[in-house]
C-alpha cells in the first residue's frame, strides 16, 4: 500500500511540474519562469532566431519579385528542427502553455515554408505570420525569464 501511495505522490508531483514548470508570480504581473543563466541565454537566442526567420520572410514579401527559395529558407530556419536539441531538464522548468505556444510556432514556421513552396499569395503568408506573431505577443505578455 505504501508503494502505491508513493507512486501516486510521485506521478502527481511530476505532473504538477510538467504543467506548471518552475515558476513564480512576477512583480509586473507576468509569470516568471525560473531558469539557470545559461538556460535563459539559450531560450532568448532561440527567440532571436525566430524573429530573424520572421524578418527574413517579411523582407522577401516586401520585394517586387520575392526570392521564394530565400523566403522558404528563412521560414524553415524557425521550424521544428530548432526544438530538437532542448534538454529535458529545461523542458521540465517550462510551463505547459509556454511549451505549447513554442511548439505551435515552430510547426507553423514549417507550414509557412510549405505555403511559400505552394505559392500562397503575399496576403495569405502575411495572415499566417500575423497569427504567429499574435501568439508571440501573448506569450511575452504572460511570461518572463528569471535567471537565478
| 122-136 pLDDT tens trace | 999 999 999 999 999
Class of residue 37 by CB neighbours under 10 A (exposed 0-12, middle 13-18, buried 19+): exposed
Q: Is the pLDDT of residue 77 over 80?
A: yes
pTM exceeds 0.75: yes
Structure confidence at residue 15 as a pLDDT band (50, 70, 90): low
Nearest to 72 by CA among 121, 108, 46, 110: 110
| 1-11 pLDDT tens trace | 766 645 544 54
CATH number, domain at 110? 1.20.120
> Residue range 90-109: average pLDDT?
94
DSSP letters spanning 105-147: HHHHHHHHHHHHHTT--HHHHHHHHHHHHHHHHHHHHHEEEEE
Domain that holds residue 90: 2-147
Residues 143/24, Cβ–Cβ less than 8 Å? no
Q: Percentage of the chain surpassing pLDDT 70?
A: 86
Structure confidence at residue 107 as a pLDDT band (50, 70, 90): very high
**Total tally of structural domains belonging to the chain:** 1
* CA 122 from centroid of its chain's CA atoms: 24
- Name the grid cell of 113: 515554408
Amino acid at each position: 500500500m505504501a508503494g502505491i501511495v508513493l507512486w501516486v505522490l510521485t506521478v502527481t508531483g511530476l505532473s504538477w511540474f510538467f504543467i506548471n514548470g518552475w515558476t513564480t508570480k512576477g512583480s509586473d504581473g507576468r509569470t516568471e519562469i525560473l531558469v539557470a543563466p545559461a538556460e535563459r541565454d539559450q531560450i532568448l537566442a532561440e527567440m532571436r532566431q525566430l524573429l530573424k526567420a520572421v524578418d527574413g520572410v517579411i523582407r522577401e514579401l516586401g520585394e517586387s519579385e520575392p526570392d521564394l527559395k530565400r523566403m522558404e529558407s528563412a521560414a524553415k530556419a524557425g521550424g521544428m528542427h530548432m526544438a530538437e536539441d532542448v534538454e529535458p531538464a529545461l523542458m521540465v522548468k517550462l510551463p505547459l502553455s509556454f511549451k505549447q505556444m513554442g511548439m505551435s510556432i515552430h510547426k507553423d514556421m514549417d507550414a509557412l515554408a510549405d505555403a511559400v513552396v505552394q505559392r500562397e499569395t503575399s496576403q495569405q503568408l502575411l495572415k499566417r505570420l500575423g497569427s504567429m506573431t499574435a501568439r508571440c505577443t501573448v506569450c511575452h505578455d504572460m511570461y518572463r525569464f528569471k535567471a537565478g
